[in-house]
Structure 1
Amino acid sequence: MDVNVNTFPEVTLLVTHYNRSQSLERLLQTFQQQNISFGGIVVSDDGSKPEHVNRLKELQSVYHYNLVTTPQNKGLGNNINKGQDAVTTSYTLYVQEDFEPKPAFIQHFKDAFNYMQADAGLDIARFYAYFCYPYTKPYGKGFAEMVFKPQLWANNHLKFYVYSDHPHLRRTTFFQKFGRYAEGIKGDITEYRMAKAFIQHKGRGLFFENFNNLFYQKNSSDEPSTMNRAGWRESKNPLALAARFIYLQIKLARWTYDVLYKK
C-alpha cells in the first residue's frame, strides 16, 4: 500500500473559530483537497452564535474533528488555551479559521516539520505575516531564524513580533516553556504578552520569508474580520504619518523596557 506522503500523524491541526463556520469549512476542505491530513484536528469555538455552532456540529461528522466549545465568548486567550489543551500529539499547526493554504504550503510545511524534528532548540516555525520579520539570519530552504535585538538603535518595532497568531507550527510543549495565553484582555494584548514571554524565555523561531506564497487570508462580506485598527494608524496623511512615527518610537522604548526588565 502506498504511504500518503502528506500525512502527519505527529501533528494536530488546531483551528480557533468564532462566528465563521463558512470560513472554517473552506479551510478544512482545502486541506482535504490538497491531500494533507494530520494526527488529529481540534476546532476551538469561542461562544459562536447558535447557527454557527449547529454548523460546526454538522461539519464535525464530515471532517471528524474534536470540537471544544464554551457557552459564552471568553476571548482569544481562552479560545487558544482550551484548544491547545485538547491536543495530544507532539506538534501543533495553529491556523485561525479565516486562512486557507495555497498549493505551495505543503512542501514548505514539510521542510519546517523536518527542521523542528532535527533541531530540538526550535520552538516555532511561522508561515504567514503582514510584514517580514526585520532581523534574521539564514536558516535554509526559504526559512530564516528570527533574531531579537534588544538595542534601541535596532528601532523597527516589528522586532517584538517574534510570535504572532498567524499560521505557525509549534511544539505542543509550548505552554511549558512560555506559559499560557493571557485571558480576559483584548486579542492584540494577548498576542503581545505571548511575544514578550517568547523573548524573555529565549524562544527560537523560524520565519518563512516568502510568506505570501503559503496562505490566503480570506474575509468575505458574510463573515468579515472581527479585528479593527484605528484609522489614523492606516492613514497616508503627512501629519498622521508623523504622529505614527513618534508613537512607534515611544512604543519601542516602552516595550523594550517592558520586555527586558518586567516579568
Structure 2
Amino acid sequence: MKKNYDFPNVTLLVTHYNRSQSLENLLQTFRQLDCHFGDIVVSDDGSKTEHQAYLKTLQAKFGYQLITTPVNKGLGNNINKGQEAVRTAYTLYVQEDFEPTPLFPDRLVESLAILDREPQFDIIRYYAYIRYPFLKPYNEGFSEMYMPAWSLNYKKLYEYSDHPHLRRSSFLQKFGRYVEGIHPDQTEYRMSIAFIQKGGKGLFFNKFTELFYQKNSQEEPSTISRKFWTFSKNPAIATIRYLYRLIKINYDIHFLRV
C-alpha cells in the first residue's frame, strides 16, 4: 500500500529563477510521492515576465507562499528572503532544478527523527557532486561529517553545500545571513566558510546520488556562468587551481571575517 507522508514541522523552501517548468516538475514529484509539508515557500529572484505569470498559475495549483522581488538580487538575497518566510522548525532546502526519488520520503522521516533527538546536528545533506572527504559512520544510511584539525584538503570546504538538504530553520541565526550582491558561487563559498568557523555539524547521506536527481533541460538550462579555468583539464591550469584553492580556503577558514 502506498504511504502518505505528512511533515507538518517542515517547510519546503525552493529558490527559483527563470525555470518555472522545472519548479513544476519538482512540486509535482513531491505530490506524486505523497509528501505533504507544513508549508511550501517559493522564493523568486526577479524572473522574466512569462515565468512570473506561470508562478502564479503554479501557486494556485500547489498552494505555496510566493516571495518575489522586482529585480534580480542574486542567490544570497533569494535564500535570505525565502528563509525568513519559514515558520516551521525545519527547512527542506531544494533548488528548482532537482527532483526527489521514491527513496527520499523514508529518509526524510529518518532525518527528522535524528534532528529531534540529536540537537548537535545543524544539517543533513542528501546530494553532492563528490563524497565529503571526512566521514565517520553514524548509521546504515548516514555518516557524520568531521574535520581533522591537521587537514589541508581543500574539499573540507564542502561541509556545507546548497544542494538539497534538511536544516534547522534557525540556520541564519547561528551562521549568519547569506552574503548578497556577489556571484552565487561566492555566496555559497562564504556560507561554507561560516559553517566551518562557527562549528557547524551535520550528516551526509552515504549513497548521495540516490535521493535526488539534478535536471537541467535544454528548455531551462542552468543560469550560472563560470570562468573557463574553473573546469579546465589542462595540467598546468589544474595544478595552479589546486594550489590556489588549497592556500585560499585554508587561509579564509582561519582569517576571513564572515
TM-score, normalization: structure 2?
A: 0.94
Equivalent residue number for residue 217 of structure 1: 214
Equivalent residue, structure 2, for 1:9: 8
1:58-102 CA-partner distances (Å, limit 9, x unpaired): 011110000010000001111011111111111000000000001
* Aligned pairs (5 A) from 1:143-222: 143-151=142-150, 154-222=151-219
**1:228 offset after TM fit, Å?**
2.7
Residue 106 of structure 2 aligns with which residue? 107
User: CA shift at 1:137, angstroms?
Assistant: 1.3
Q: Is the 8 A contact 2:44 2:78 kept in 1?
A: yes
1:231 matched residue in structure 2: 228
1:120 aligns with 2:119: yes
CA 196–252 in structure 1, closer or farther in 2 if over 3 Å, else same: closer
Greater Cα offset, 112-121 or 242-251:
242-251
Change (3 A) 1:141 1:193: same
Helix, strand or coil: the match of 1:255? helix
Q: Secondary structure at the match of 2:209?
A: helix
Q: Unpaired segments of 5 or more residues in structure 2? A: none
Residues 28/118 of structure 1: CA separation in 2 closer, same or farther (3 Å cut): same
Query: Deviation per CA, 1:209-247, whole angstroms, max 9, x where unpaired?
Result: 211001110001111101233323323332233233332
Q: For residue 108 of structure 1, report the CA deviation from its aligned partner.
A: 1.5
Q: Which runs of 4+ in 1 moved over 6 A?
A: none
Q: Residue 24 of structure 2 aligns with which residue?
A: 25
For structure 1, list consecutive stretches of 5 or more residues without a partner in the other structure.
Answer: none
State the Cα RMSD in Å.
Answer: 1.8
Give the Å deviation of 1:4: 6.0
1:87-102 correspondence runs (5 A): 87-102=86-101
Distance 2:149 2:255 in 1: 11
> Could you tell me how far apart the structure 1 residues matched to 2:242 and 2:153 are?
11
- Give the whole-Å Cα distance in 2 for the aligned partners of 1:253 and 1:156: 9
Q: 1:119 to 1:26 in 2, by over 3 A?
A: same
Correspondence for 1:83: 82
Instruction: Specify whether residues 68 and 198 from structure 1 end up closer, same or farther in structure 2 by C-alpha distance, changes over 3 A only.
Output: same
SS in 2 for 1:211: coil
In 1, are the aligned partners of 2:127 and 2:208 still within 8 Å (CA)? yes
Q: Quick one: distance in 1 between partners of 2:235 and 2:152? A: 21
Comparing 182-191 and 19-28, the one that deviates more? 182-191
Determine helix, strand or coil for the equivalent of 1:212.
coil
* Cα distance between partner residues in 1 of 2:230 and 2:187: 20
> Residues 180-204 of structure 1, C-alpha deviation per residue, up to 9 Å, x if partnerless?
1111111111111111221122111
Structure 2 counterpart of 1:133, which letter?
Y
- Which amino acid is 1:106 matched to? P
Check the 8 A contact 1:14/1:93 in 2, yes or no: yes
Deviation of 1:119 (Å):
0.5
Q: 2:128 corresponds to which residue?
A: 129
- Alignment size in residue pairs: 258
Q: State the distance in 2 between where 1:252 and 1:27 align.
A: 33
Task: Give the aligned residue type for 1:33.
Answer: Q
Separation of aligned partners in 1, 2:181 and 2:208: 31
Q: Secondary structure at the match of 2:226?
A: coil
The separation in 1 between residues aligned to 2:38 and 2:3, in whole angstroms, is: 13
Match of 2:33 in 1: 34
